[in-house]
Structure 1
Amino acid sequence: DDANAAAAADAGLTYRGRPGFAGNPVESQQILTHALSRAKFALAFSNRHSPAAYTHPTREYLTARWTTALAAGASVAGIAPRCRATAELLWEGALVEFASVDRREGLERLAAELAAWTPRRALVNRAEALRRLDWRWRFREIAGVLGRTAPALDANLAMLGEKLNEAVSLLGEGVEGERS
């Protein structure tokens, strides 16, 4: 993180690094969500381009890192997984696709994206995440295929629909605000 922060500073960018962990998963998730809600971009790379012991060695997939960042309003910068979920679920502006893992090239790309960034982009990401990424929409499809009703799910979807309507209405009003 220190090397990335120094390289980002040299490029005129701010890199905050990975958020810390708390004593339990709920608090850790809150820390992560707060950090992402302040970010304009979050870095993430497909497991094919950034392998780790905890990822699949060959199969690429969209992870919670991507969806959580987008739900918080941050666009994801990096190399996206080549998979059906990426193609079907993500929208224009959700990704800042890098050509390689070269840090200098990535920082140049981010600097250009930052120059074009507006608070509206964060609002679009939040609205589209509500519209496309929440699992409850898929559960509704599954219930329909199975010919089942799910009153609790219907109630949840009604609340989700209200949140989506609020998010979309913000897009029509224009936005002012700062994100780092």
Structure 2
Amino acid sequence: MSLHKKAFFLCGLLLLLWNTNAQLCTSGTTSWATNGDPHYFTVCSNGLQLLTKCPSSTLYAHGTTNLKDCSPYYGGCSLTVGGCVPCEYFPWPASNPASVTAPPCSSVGAVAPYCDPSYYWYCSCATGTAELKACPSGYGYSTSRTIGCTPWYNWNTQS
């Protein structure tokens, strides 16, 4: 095969592969970020997944009709809301709802998630009111498999 034919064949193969990858998502669709951080989501544009940040004080809730398939992989799946929602409406697990108001203390330690999971409420004594603490960069306060700050990819997932 001549060099010209080889180059033409390789260009055609690359074009085919590029078009195949471009078909991986439908323009306009959104999904949670692969790292699990609810401050971000992906949006499909021209066949490519683009990482996008939610506006300040909002988190990405993945609207779905199938919580069973969504919840093991992402900590913010919802039947009722979708997209970037104010953190007060983010779908935390019902047993550990997040709060924007400091809870009263009855023990020492982390007591509840704040509505932005980059933070949590912490009691330094068994009386008084909890104070807001930050998780380290790249971590979120989890209420699912583990309680406490955990890397975003494990944050509030069930698997």
- Asked if Structure 1 and Structure 2 have the same fold, meaning a TM-score greater than 0.5 normalized by the shorter chain, the answer is no
Bigger strand fraction:
2
* Greater Rg over alpha carbons, structure: 2
Higher relative contact order (CA 8 A, sep 6+): 1
Bigger helix fraction:
1
